[in-house]
Structure 1
Amino acid sequence: MTKTAFIGTGNIAAVHAEALAQVKGADLVAVVDPVESRASSFARKFKAQSSFGSLAEALQEGGFSVAHVLTPPATHFGITKTLLDAGIGVFLEKPMAEKVSECEMLIGLAQSRGLPLRVSQNYIFHPAHLRVRKALDGNRIGPLRHVSCRYVMPLRQLAARQFGHWMFDSSRNLLLEQVVHPLSLLDDVAGPLKPVSVIPGERKAFADGIELVTEWQVLLSGRNGATVQLLVSLGASYADWSLDILGDDGRISADYLSSKASGTVPGGYIDFLETMRGGYASSLSRMAQDTGNAAAYLAAQTRLVGRSDPFFLSIRNSVRDFYSALDGGRHDMDGARGARLVGLCNEIAAASGEPVVRPKPVEHTGFRADVVVLGGTGFIGSYLTRDLVGAGKKVRVVARNTGNPARVFTHENVELVQGSIADREFLEEAIAGVPVVVNLAHGGGGDDWEAIRRAMVGGAERVADAVIATGAEKFLHVSSIAALYCGDPDETITDKTLPDPDKGRADYARAKAEAERLLLRKCRDDGLPLSLWRPGVVVGEGTSPFHSGVGFYNRERVCLGWNSGQNPLPFVLAEDVSSALMKAILDLPADELTGRAFNLVGDVRLTARAYTALLAEKTGRPLVYRRQSIWQQQAGEVAKWLVKKAAGRKVGFPSVRDLKSRGLVASFDTSAEKKLLGWQPVSDRQAFIDRAIMVHVR
């Protein structure tokens, strides 16, 4: 039995744990995470014997011979070196390290100690690639002549503006985090590879101070003279990850997103029959694979079989192969492939030009803030921080991730602090002595209602208790119109409208409403200086134009509407949300704010159809708004509910009331907000279009 430790408990660790559970002769015995509560929770969930808050503690306790390193990439070298020095074999997530010299040092250390070292390049174990590998090993297409790969992928973190992620530190890091995947496939098919030429795309500005190269055309040479091409585009709206391999006697094609692979080899028929035969054979093969993939997905969702999505299978197969090779003396257990790929990424990065020097946050001593903004590095927070600094205020901005801040957060009047609203003691320290607290922190999510309630409602409660304990004068809690019921076309929502009491709402809306009710009770009973702020459908520069308030965008091209799309929507520009908050912070006394709610809805209220049509016209994209009736949506929700229930998940029956509310058919009267605040959102239609839509064209 191989006893294993996990170092790190991030998202990928859970996938590794599920995969390890399917490996005979392997046992997870220890879990390490600097947040001990996460380590212990992970250990309980996956039945590990021990959990530790540091690697040093785990090594002192001992009891394992192999470790999976599942921490952020910048830590890979140090942690892996420590493990190898301690005589522990290592299986680590990509990239192996940041520099080739670090990789070589790890390889030398592993070899000198006779220890296994491998990077989990899991996509070479992807089901589609295993079919490619089988065809190549069977010499189906003869000697390789040319390989081409397209890797055109969206980036969820980029769309969400999560620039604190390590990969946004530089274009090199983007390559190490993302492009290492297609490079691993090319290395497996035609490697080792040598770059011949690299054509980088233009450097793009994603935020003030965040500039990156995200596109490359790379020509490489492979073994036996094969030519290799790689096209990379990151942050694309349409995804395409495909591989074409041309040999002397045929061609192999693979699509890694739909998990399909097929081959074309010549037969002995005359040309037109050969073309027809090849087309039929290829079509039948793709249909069979599509059908099998769909059946496997449904079977896994209903728990008739275990998890079978291609990503999980690639991790499982990678983990299995590592453990099967532990005692086999395999040559690929020395980390060489991982080092080659780091080298390729660094060479491609070198051709992309010098990284932009980014401004850094000011390190303060004795900073006396006028305002604390919790969750302040997000969309609305960046506008508010800019406006507060412009008004001469000193701002303490608190965020869970403070890496790669936009330029506004590097101003001398801004103190950027890393922390979480889950930590009550930290909150009190951050808020102490500051008269105004603005809470933009979401609180987090979860897999079920209880987890979401703990994160969102529990987070709001901790902030409120810290505000009460420290004696702040004003507490502005930024909620959402999702907390209200907006599904009655005959109702006009005002500042007096109460949060929706219905418990059948979707988890996000329900949590927003419950948090509001809890805060209002604390305002009434405990003296919390609360004002509630509910922005409508917030748009503007710095966020995606594909807003869930307009409809459901499973793909950007098609917006599945919440209704016919003909009712005016409560749009508001982010700059107008900030201007309303600024007036409350600077101009209104606390007693005029406390206990009040402010619905922030602008004066230009396009319909979903009109917004989609304008976005399509201005961007030149073939965007479509597709109407859906409530009953069509409910049928789809019930079908999903049945699958989730069959899988054993705790989910409530879908609510028709919630679907109606998403359509935002109620009217909004913001006259009270405008009168009290002296607030005037943008009312000119063309000005709104310029700031909500045209910014995405430019």
Structure 2
Amino acid sequence: MVCGLAQDEKIMTRTAFIGTGNIAAVHAEALGQIKGAVLATVVDPVESRAVAFARKYKAEGHYGSLTDALKEGGFAVAHVLTPPSTHYAITKTLLDAGIGVLLEKPMAETVAQCEDLQDCARSRGLPLRVSQNYLFHPAQLKVLKALEENRIGPVRHVSCRYVMPLRQLAARQFGHWMFDSPRNLLLEQVVHPLSLIDDVAGPLTVTAVMPGERRTFADGIDLVTEWQVLLAGKNGCTVQLLISLGASYADWTLDILGDDGRISADYLASTAGVTTPGGYIDFLETMRAGYATSLGRIAQDSGNAAAYLAAQTRLVGRRDPFFLSIRNSVRDFYAALDHDRHDMDGARGTRLVRLCTDIAAASGEPTQRPQPVEHTGFRADVVVLGGTGFIGSYLTRDLVGAGKKVRVVARNTGNPARVFTHENVELVQGSIADRDFLEEAIAGVPVVVNLAHGGGGDDWEAIRNAMVGGAEKVADAVIATGAEKFLHVSSIAALYCGDPDETITDKTLPDPDKGRADYARAKAAAERILLRKCRDDGLPLSLWRPGVVVGEGTSPFHSGVGFYNRERVCLGWNDGRNPLPLVLAEDVSAALMKAIVDLPADELTGRAFNLVGDVRLTARAYTALLAEKTGRPLVYRPQSIWQQQAGEVAKWVVKKAAGRKVGFPSVRDLKSRGLVASFDTSGEKKLLGWQPVSDRQTFIDRAIQVHGR
């Protein structure tokens, strides 16, 4: 059990960060609050990222490899903040070099690797700790305080529900390491609740596992995402753990039953309370306990809200529970460096990996997934950049069906869907940010289709560099290599769709207004640059703007329908009564196929194609049908433009107070999101011979019914 957060002002430690991903920024902020701790070195295989990170957090040195950093030296401990598959090798290298390690979870991929790291750390007398940050979550610290004060007597039973959404699953990012096997999924996600249970009732042993059924999420991708687990803890304590990953409603709670009461914690709300019996008769005792619980929850929720607002307006430092858990974990590690702490040898990290391995063993062997074909001298007919996504999977299927050889380029090529393992598909990992790679990937290929998003960022500059800069790099590579056709897949977000009296056609130009939100502004800016290159530099460009793309293989909760902060409630962009420019992914692919296979380049170059289907449901009708087909109580909540603007201005005030570079919210952009303009696609249909699905019931079956259970 973690008993406290010791402080030691004598700490003077030079530190290295290995990896500069998202979690590294949180570690850097936490490290900056520790007296005497110095970020001496930053290591990242993409040296430009190491340079940028070092500059932002004032690190003294930066390197593209761990080998180079170790040669230079100058640090005593390191934070390993890299993907899980690299933890063992990097940590072993550091320990062998005499460097203590704080590493992100999980400790390693196997129990044997964990034990090897433990042995290495012990033999060299080095600190080794896995940052199980939720042990230092504010709610968990309240739980531990109640246990230390013996508020509920001996612990007899622990019950935990871990029912959580999974962003990568919703986004269908199956290339993520966690989707390789049930063990990896557990190591990535379930070490969090297991660490809490281990803290109050460990060490634990698995006594029974009931896995849920294996579900198919894509062609070739099936997963177990639910488990019921029984465990045995210390002193005869029994434990029940319910796991459900990819849920729409989140619930992470812990109940600890003792001989004399109960402790209940909610980690999403960051609250914890104790219920103990009093000396009243039964009905008064029930009322007293209910009032006490309610008042305690109100007090904690109010305090959490006040702390959040104070932090957002910079009246106090950052106070969100996730940051506090990381900060407290990092602080405890450094406070323990000068003390003989029993928890600095990686033992807990090893225990948690063993538990995840035991649970996974009851889930059966992972399904053998098809693997991409390794090609030599592959001569592609078409290159699809960003091709493993939603539209890309349909297009690749149709190209292969037409006998074409396809080179598919993606940033992450792990766990590909079955279509990408066809013998006529070459799957290549790469980024459109790399101009040399692009030219090599498309050299000698007559048709290039750009579906790559380019990436995002925290502000306009970062988004422009990623999205607009990425599109420009692709265009320059197309010009340099002499491709015959270049199909750039943009979005109707590049157009202004907020005028109900306007009819948008294939002649409508991208919105020139700079007041649009960053995504729409970047889409429009990219189109303008590409059109200029088409006019001035001979780029064989055709622009393709799909509408609100729906169908099997993507989430039905589309931002074109409304804002889904929670899946159950869709906050509309207007009253939800105007027809939406919906289109099936299969129809988008069919239009692209017409251009690739049937039309000569000169009939495409310089043209724009707005891909909107013939069945145009309103947002209200779409939501009602989705509720009916899924059996869920979904609600469409209309909003006026001025309601939305008031909310956007309130958020803008908070962000500006926090020092963020954000533009004033645009009413024009909110109007455009409502998609009230009409679309005339007769030009597209005539030139392409394109016929999207026009039967209403067929459309509903393919767009909505496919999401029913």
| TM-score of the superposed pair, with normalisation by structure 1 | 1.00
Task: Say whether 1:455 aligns with 2:476.
Answer: no
Aligned to 2:620: 609
Aligned to 2:307: 296
Matches within 5 A, 1:235-274: 235-274=246-285
Match for residue 621 of structure 1?
Answer: 632
Match of 2:388 in 1: 377
Q: Which residue of 2 aligns with 1:527?
A: 538
Pick aligned residue for 1:493 from 495, 498, 504 = 504
Which residue is equivalent to 1:418?
Answer: 429
Amino acid in structure 2 at the alignment position of 1:213: V
Deviations 1:187-239 (A, max 9, x none): 00100001110000001111111111100000001000010000000000000
Q: Once the 2 structures are TM-superposed, how far is the Cα of residue 396 of structure 1 from its aligned partner?
A: 0.5
* Structure 1 Cα separation of the partners of residues 107 and 630 of structure 2: 40
* Paired position in structure 2 for 1:545: 556
Deviation per CA, 1:236-270: give whole Å up to 9, x if none. 00000000000000000000001000010111222
2:378 partner SS: coil
Query: Once the two structures are superposed, what CA deviation does each residue of 1:357-402 show, in whole Å capped at 9, x if it has no partner?
Result: 1111111111110000000000000000000011010000000111
Alignment of 1:358-373 (within 5 A): 358-373=369-384
| 1:507 and 2:507 aligned | no
Q: Which residue of 1 aligns with 2:331?
A: 320
Q: CA RMSD in A?
A: 0.6
The answer to whether residue 95 in structure 2 is matched with residue 84 in structure 1 is yes
Counterpart CA distance in 1 for 2:550 and 2:205 is: 45
Which amino acid in the other structure matches residue 227 of structure 2? W
Aligned to 1:20: 31
Residues 492-516 of structure 1 show CA distances to partners (whole Å, capped at 9, x for unaligned) of 0000001011110000001100110
Q: Secondary structure at the match of 1:397?
A: strand
Name the SS for the 2:311 alignment partner. Answer: helix
What's the CA shift for 1:284? 1.1
The reply to whether residue 177 of structure 1 matches residue 188 of structure 2 is: yes
Task: Choose the corresponding residue for 1:135, options 146, 151, 154.
Answer: 146
Moved more, 226-235 or 270-279: 270-279
Give the C-alpha shift of residue 281 in structure 1: 1.2
One-letter amino acid matched to 1:622: P
Q: Please tell me the residue identity of whatever aligns with 1:176.
A: L
The residue type equivalent to 2:522 in the other structure is A
Q: Percent identity?
A: 87
Is residue 656 of structure 2 the alignment partner of residue 645 of structure 1? yes
Secondary structure of 1:87's counterpart equals coil
Give how far 1:648 is off: 1.0
Letter in 2 for 1:616: A
Question: Could you list the per-position Cα deviations for residues 425-458 of structure 1 after superposition, in whole angstroms to 9, with x for gaps in the alignment?
Answer: 1111111000000000001111111111111111
**Shift, 1:332, TM fit:** 0.3
CA distance in 2, matches of 1:363, 1:33: 29
Shift of 1:280: 1.3
Residues 304-339 of structure 1 show CA distances to partners (whole Å, capped at 9, x for unaligned) of: 111111001000000001110111100000100000
Letter in 1 for 2:230: L
Distance 2:60 2:26 in 1: 19
- SS of the equivalent of 1:497 reads coil
Give the one of 553, 567, 578 matched to 1:556. Answer: 567
2:157 corresponds to which letter in structure 1?
A: H
Once residues 653 and 3 of structure 1 are traced to their aligned partners in structure 2, the CA distance between those partners, rounded to angstroms, is: 42
CA–CA separation in structure 1 for the residues paired with 2:318 and 2:480: 47
1:341 matched to which residue of 2? 352
Residue 145 (structure 2) pairs with residue 147 (structure 1): no
**Offset of residue 274 of structure 1:** 1.6
1:599 maps to 610
Cα deviation per residue 1:124-144 (whole Å; 9 max; x = unaligned)? 100000000100011100000
Residues 564-584 of structure 1: per-residue CA shift (max 9 Å, x gap): 000000000000000000000
1:659 to 662, 670, 683: 670
Amino acid at match of 2:92: K
Equivalents in 2 of 1:554, 1:622: separation in Å? 15
Deviations 1:55-74 (A, max 9, x none): 11011100111000111001
Provide the secondary structure at the position in 1 that maps to 2:190.
helix
For 1:661-680, list aligned pairs within 5 A.
661-680=672-691
**Matches of 2:303 and 2:35 in 1, distance apart?**
26
Q: Quick one: distance in 1 between partners of 2:658 and 2:419? A: 46
Partners of 2:191 and 2:658 in 1: CA distance: 34
Gaps of 5+ in 2: 1-11
Aligned-partner Cα distance in 1 for 2:233–2:636: 46
Further displaced range: 657-666 or 274-283: 274-283
Superposed CA offset, 1:605-634 (max 9, x none): 000000000000111100000000000000
1:477 corresponding residue in structure 2: 488
Corresponding residue number in structure 1 for 2:9 = none
Structure-2 residue corresponding to 1:223:
234
CA distance in 2, matches of 1:471, 1:686: 44
The letter for the 2-side match of 1:562 is: W
- What is the identity, as a one-letter code, of the residue corresponding to 1:383? Y
Match of 1:208 among 219, 232, 244: 219
2:479 aligns to what?
Answer: 468
Q: 2:233 & 2:446 partners in 1: Cα distance?
A: 64
For residue 586 of structure 1, report the CA deviation from its aligned partner. Answer: 0.2
Per the alignment, residue 111 of structure 1 pairs with 122
Q: State the 1:271 CA deviation.
A: 1.7
Structure 1 position 198 matched with structure 2 position 204: no
Q: Which amino acid aligns with 2:121?
A: A
Shift of 1:97: 0.6
Once residues 647 and 89 of structure 1 are traced to their aligned partners in structure 2, the CA distance between those partners, rounded to angstroms, is 35
Give 3-state SS (helix, strand or coil) of 1:331's partner. Answer: coil
What's the CA shift for 1:348?
Answer: 0.2
Moved beyond 2 Å, runs of 4+? none
Q: Residue in 1 aligned with 2:133?
A: 122
- Matches of 1:442 and 1:679 in 2, distance apart? 25
The secondary structure found in structure 1 opposite 2:15 is: strand
Residue equivalent to 2:587: 576
The one-letter code sitting in structure 1 at the alignment partner of 2:544 is W
Deviation at 1:303, TM superposition (A): 1.2
- How far 1:404 sits from its partner (Å)? 0.7
2:704 is paired with a residue whose SS is: helix
What SS does structure 1 have at the residue aligned with 2:343? Answer: helix
- Equivalent-residue separation in structure 1 for 2:524 and 2:67 (angstroms): 45
Indicate the residue corresponding to 2:173 in structure 1.
162
TM-score of the pair, normalised by structure 2: 0.98
Does residue 44 in structure 1 map to residue 44 in structure 2? Answer: no
In the alignment, structure 1 residue 427 sits paired with structure 2 residue 438: yes
What is the deviation of 1:347? 0.2
Return the alpha-carbon distance in structure 2 between the equivalents of residues 204 and 171 of structure 1.
12
Cα distance in 1 for residues equivalent to 2:553 and 2:530: 30
1:8 matched to 2:14:
no
